[in-house]
Structure 1
């Protein structure tokens, strides 16, 4: 795809995201809240409310960068008693008042809470480091400052955060054994797998992060260079981008988290278009210490959003229970619950599992026996929706992206369907596609979608995933194995599942040369199928 076309796509995506930024809560700050953030960074005023004291402070990082922070303590905490400490790094684009409602809840129950604005954003100095070495060093400095200037107990330290704050918390805990517990909400395990899964650039996700970074922060030269290389699809810089991302991926430091014995809670949304759930599951699988995995309906950070305003919220409630148990030794029942907690996108309450393997224990294959050849460069009408907006509609109204399966043009979309299921079925876990692809060009992109198809042929998106290849021999078939994004979805009785493959999706940058075609076949010695974690409801 030409550079001008990629630039146009990026510009279109960034413009289309303006409404998504508000809907997803990324920039959901009223003018009063914005002003409060500015005031919070300017002084050392103290306020007292509902049994807590709030101080706004400056913390100087090792390189001289000033980080703006607030400290919330129980009223009367200066009596010499030591309290467990929770540190909250802010999310991407948020000021340090982001967690004030939750900080007061924690402080009222006996914690010292320090929330700080990560470098490069709002009133904190420096440039955006994207959870790099400077951010990890900042977290250590913040811990040192809290132990020196608050009645915090050095033996009872936890970290928590949403999105960017979750990733920094995990990385900090891996590098600093003083952190005993982490609650990582809508974070990531593998940064590259999040926005470059299947070797495909997640265009809308990257444009969202880039736009917020420009509006609410100051990108460092390195960050700007990485974004530019990401957009340009420059394969000569791919190894450099992969190394940059690995350095910022908690999964790369899972052995350190295990060695430190850190208690880790991971909570994500099924429809997270910034950090899809698969990479959090992969991190969870590598952890050997105390751990808990929670997956719910919603997009990036939408499940946690109401809690930031002090409203009842399952994610924050479980986070407090997790911290209470591991920092206060409170026997609150969380230690007796199944460590994997899932909530279906369709209906019902939470389901508990002893491990992730048990989630997908029952699997069925849908054979993809018919050969199909499709043309590239045209959106068939099957797609993953719009970042934030589509998954929010699914979360609130159970309206995922839809497509009329009979009307999908077979010139641009390959379609296979299962038989109708006489009883309701539950999809739980990770569906996987195995097929043989023959390209007419050395590079290409495809996107696989799994739909729940009703009697009239209307398909509701269950899950999907992109895949890009380079350096293939034209006309030479190759085997393809692709895991779709993990999900929990209920298929009604009388419906069927359909696998659709096309080559264009607004969520992603595609790499299909003009006029290219892809053929999907099912050789006798290597039959094609989609394996779905499916069981009767």
Structure 2
């Protein structure tokens, strides 16, 4: 396992290096050409740490009026010029826009805090600086960001009531639920973040230890890891956000392999102020990326409309639209819902009858794909990870299938697995996959999720309830749905002792099933 983790981190560094170099080469030119009024400034953040920043003011600023302020913290591993194209557009429409490199990355000082208290305090210091040094209106402050910038924006808004509106794009509200869902480490996602921070920033000793404990599956450290993550999760401070009545827009991708849509949807339901949730095909930050190059982009268009209404008071109708906006992976059509609970309100159960025993430690061939690459392929070409369901070896994979559907089934929301599991060891990991199976038995991945248990009594059955990652996918008429369960997936660290077996059963008094959320025709 140690050699595996080291190799994974090394490969992640290489991938990230190439990605950042390519992104810088492609992204800086259009931004630099457009942003003619840009000023590069130094801002003293929390504890005296110097943050590198840039600010753009509207062209008509003459010192006689104030403008709404938008603060944009950078994404994990990206430089302060990340938002130049969008910042120029926003400044042209009447905002003071300030982007800053978060501490620990690139030329900014300090060490990486992973949206810890110093990062939250930095955001307030940046707002202070903007109000003192630009024609920004203290009554009209907004924050936005992609990924890391999204997480910091939500946390800052909870702690600084001056922030009236937020657009959190491809971010997290629950860090623990994102990369440690159901006690399972999302190892590819974590290695990618680790690699990026090694290339572009300065890890603190605490962060290095967090990564090492995470990879090592050290259960003694689990309470500390969870507490560390909760401190950095907006869901922990949702009452403060609600008290501030912050207008919160969140956007994410169905296939986000770093921050799943489930944790955003759960958080959305807890918000009581003005709110909007948008979910589209793609992987982490891929739905927003064309906008960073200044190209037309739905996410950034809606971000502008959000701020126009909640900071400028524009009557653009964004507050009257259905607040939950979804785009199916199978179509280019947007759907509106009054709330998340209405998504997939109709449910059909597929019975998981009989008893199936599988051996662990071998990958059956059913996988969630590769971080970034698989969901991007699904976004661009509608080709998700594929497996031949009839050929999956039943020694290592349990398989159940529905009947053929006479009409198309529009899966919307979160599929839920309920089953009875009897292990032969006290720890274990399973991964559940929902497939769209065509006439030839070829299965296209609809969604998946991992589940890990510890401290169970060998031979004693217990209930497993698992939410698969949310999605919007149309199953064609004549196809079936299949649920596959195995124990190994390269996306996750598995906790199956050598030689372990897992038995799935369906007692008469507590039948096993997978519940499929559907949109009515």
1:370 Cα deviation from its structure 2 partner:
1.7
1:20 Cα deviation from its structure 2 partner:
5.6
| 5+ long unaligned stretches in structure 1 | 41-46
2:263 matches 1:269: no
* Residue in structure 1 matching 2:23, options 22, 26, 29: 29
1:75 Cα deviation from its structure 2 partner:
1.8
Instruction: Give the distance between the partners of 2:3 and 2:343, measured in 1 at CA.
Output: 41
2:328 matches 1:328: no
Conserved 8 A contact 2:343-2:519? no
* Partner deviation per Cα, 1:76-122 (whole Å, 9 max, x = no partner): 41332100000000000001000000000000011000000000000
1:27 Cα deviation from its structure 2 partner:
5.7
1:474 Cα deviation from its structure 2 partner:
0.4
2:389 matches 1:405: yes
Written as runs of structure 1 = structure 2, the 5 A alignment for 1:104-503 is 104-503=88-487
Written as runs of structure 1 = structure 2, the 5 A alignment for 1:514-533 is 514-533=498-517
**Equivalent residue of 1:335, what SS?**
coil
1:293 Cα deviation from its structure 2 partner:
0.2
Conserved 8 A contact 2:69-2:142? yes
| 5+ long unaligned stretches in structure 2 | none
> What TM-score comes out, normalization by structure 1 length?
0.94
* Partner deviation per Cα, 1:36-60 (whole Å, 9 max, x = no partner): 9xxx9xxxxxx9967x621000001
Question: Relative to 1, partners in 2 of residues 1:536 and 1:262: Cα closer, same or farther, differing over 3 Å?
Answer: closer
Instruction: Give the distance between the partners of 1:20 and 1:498, measured in 2 at CA.
Output: 34
Q: Which residue matches 1:14?
A: 9
1:12 Cα deviation from its structure 2 partner:
3.9
* Partner deviation per Cα, 1:354-396 (whole Å, 9 max, x = no partner): 0011102100000001210000000000000000000000000
* Partner deviation per Cα, 1:2-60 (whole Å, 9 max, x = no partner): xxx2x23323433554676489x6664345868x9xxx9xxxxxx9967x621000001
1:167 Cα deviation from its structure 2 partner:
0.3
Conserved 8 A contact 1:424-1:536? no
* Residue in structure 2 matching 1:98, options 69, 82, 91: 82
Instruction: Give the distance between the partners of 2:137 and 2:270, measured in 1 at CA.
Output: 29
Instruction: Give the distance between the partners of 1:165 and 1:13, measured in 2 at CA.
Output: 25
Question: Relative to 1, partners in 2 of residues 1:49 and 1:15: Cα closer, same or farther, differing over 3 Å?
Answer: closer
Instruction: Give the distance between the partners of 2:17 and 2:281, measured in 1 at CA.
Output: 19
Instruction: Give the distance between the partners of 1:16 and 1:344, measured in 2 at CA.
Output: 33
Instruction: Give the distance between the partners of 2:413 and 2:465, measured in 1 at CA.
Output: 16
Conserved 8 A contact 1:20-1:389? no
Q: Which residue matches 1:44?
A: none
Instruction: Give the distance between the partners of 1:212 and 1:22, measured in 2 at CA.
Output: 7
Question: Relative to 1, partners in 2 of residues 1:523 and 1:26: Cα closer, same or farther, differing over 3 Å?
Answer: farther
Conserved 8 A contact 2:34-2:85? no
Instruction: Give the distance between the partners of 2:33 and 2:364, measured in 1 at CA.
Output: 58
Conserved 8 A contact 1:17-1:387? no
Written as runs of structure 1 = structure 2, the 5 A alignment for 1:34-113 is 53-113=37-97
Conserved 8 A contact 1:454-1:495? yes
2:505 matches 1:505: no
Question: Relative to 1, partners in 2 of residues 1:310 and 1:377: Cα closer, same or farther, differing over 3 Å?
Answer: same
Instruction: Give the distance between the partners of 1:338 and 1:296, measured in 2 at CA.
Output: 15
1:334 Cα deviation from its structure 2 partner:
1.0
Instruction: Give the distance between the partners of 1:15 and 1:240, measured in 2 at CA.
Output: 26
**Equivalent residue of 1:532, what SS?**
strand
Conserved 8 A contact 2:138-2:162? yes
**Equivalent residue of 2:62, what SS?**
helix
* Partner deviation per Cα, 1:241-265 (whole Å, 9 max, x = no partner): 0000000000111111100000000
Instruction: Give the distance between the partners of 1:22 and 1:305, measured in 2 at CA.
Output: 18
Question: Relative to 1, partners in 2 of residues 1:22 and 1:356: Cα closer, same or farther, differing over 3 Å?
Answer: farther
**Equivalent residue of 1:346, what SS?**
coil
* Partner deviation per Cα, 1:102-159 (whole Å, 9 max, x = no partner): 0000000110000000000000000000000000000000000000000000000000
1:335 Cα deviation from its structure 2 partner:
1.4
- What is the number of residues matched between the two proteins? 521
CA RMSD of aligned residues (A): 1.8
